[in-house]
Amino acid sequence: MTIKVAILGCNGRMGRNLIQATTEHSQLSLVGGSVRKGSSFENFDLGELAGIKALNVNATSNLEELADADVFIDFTSIEATFEHLTWCKEHNKALVIGTTGFTDEQVKQIQQVGIDIPVLLAPNTSIGVNLLFKLLEITAKAIGDDTDIEIFEAHHRFKKDAPSGTAMKMGQVIAETLDRDLNECAVYGREGITEERNPNTIGFATVRAGDIIGEHTAYFADLGERLELTHKATSRMTFAMGAMRAVIWLSKAENGFYDMQDVLGLKAL
């Protein structure tokens, strides 16, 4: 069975990669994409928008024109995502969310929508990053209480949220494994003369520069040795192809709130 896919925010950097990834997957059929009202990209052919062959499928600002889709993909903004979430709930459509920067309260709101439709929230849809989350859990169980934990992330100059959603997820995985509250133990910056490092804290360092796609490293450092777990993305297609895997999985799922750990079957490990 072919899964009909619509891409929300199809004119963005990720949207264009998602268009290409959808067309390259035999199980998926791209039926449309959305742009903001008044966008200069309205009525553009999605293939031409993505820099591939014409697809005879045009961008629209009217979500009702996308009602034939089975699964929607959203890598837009927080405000737009909630508008799309409401629409998908009203129209009983599955939604994959790759938008980042949500507060804890906003995540709870998204979870609630999972009562009515299948919804998957992933701060990073890369297969490698989601394997990294599992490795962080294993590492934290083994040595987390005996090491200093720091998280480094670097992205392109255009990224708006910091630390990245992926870095925050890394911190959450580690904190939950160690029975800590990330809201209380996170340190987001150091400057000047500081006190000696609190061993229960989890530090974050952020770089925004050039066209860095995405780099993340977790340091587990003791006196005399340290373990570094690193993921580096060199193409946004990494995230797009992971999103395709999420779409296929979510198309068969019952109503609920999911993440990439569910897609990859890592929660049972």
Of the candidates 108, 29, 35, the residue with the CA atom closest to the CA atom of residue 77: 35
What local confidence, expressed as pLDDT, does residue 191 receive? 87
Indicate the pTM of the whole model: 0.85
91 is catalytic: no
Cα 209 to chain centroid distance, Å, stands at: 20
The size of the chain, in residues, is 269
Residue 166 · residue 124 · CB < 8 Å: yes
CATH of the domain at 183: 3.30.360.10
Place of tokens 């009202």: 37
The verdict on 116 and 7 lying in the same domain is yes
Q: Give the Cα separation of 19 and 75 in Å (integer).
A: 12
The structural domain count of the chain equals 2
CATH of the domain at 38: 3.40.50.720
Q: What is the pLDDT along the chain (269 residues), one digit of tens a residue?
A: 799 999 999 999 999 999 999 999 999 999 999 999 999 999 999 999 999 999 999 999 999 999 999 999 999 999 999 999 999 999 999 999 999 889 999 999 999 999 999 999 998 999 999 999 999 999 999 999 999 999 999 999 999 889 998 999 999 999 999 999 999 999 998 888 778 999 999 999 999 999 999 999 999 999 999 999 999 999 989 999 999 999 999 999 999 999 999 999 998 77
In a domain? residue 41: yes
What local confidence, expressed as pLDDT, does residue 6 receive? 98
155 is catalytic: yes
How far apart, in Å, are the Cα atoms of 129 and each of 79, 135, 181? 25, 10, 22
The verdict on 36 and 92 lying in the same domain is yes
Helix extents (H) in 144-263: 165-177, 182-185, 237-251, 260-263
Catalytic residue among 84, 93, 155, 231: 155
In a domain? residue 19: yes
The verdict on 99 and 155 lying in the same domain is no
Residue range(s) defining the domain that contains residue 112: 3-121+236-263
Of the candidates 146, 143, 123, 142, the residue with the CA atom closest to the CA atom of residue 231: 123
CA dihedral 251, 253, 257, 259 (to 10 degrees): -70
Q: Give the Cα separation of 48 and 71 in Å (integer).
A: 22
What local confidence, expressed as pLDDT, does residue 193 receive? 74
DSSP 2: P
Q: Give the Cα separation of 242 and 49 in Å (integer).
A: 21
The verdict on 255 and 161 lying in the same domain is no
Residue 30 · residue 23 · CB < 8 Å: yes
Q: Give the Cα separation of 100 and 84 in Å (integer).
A: 15
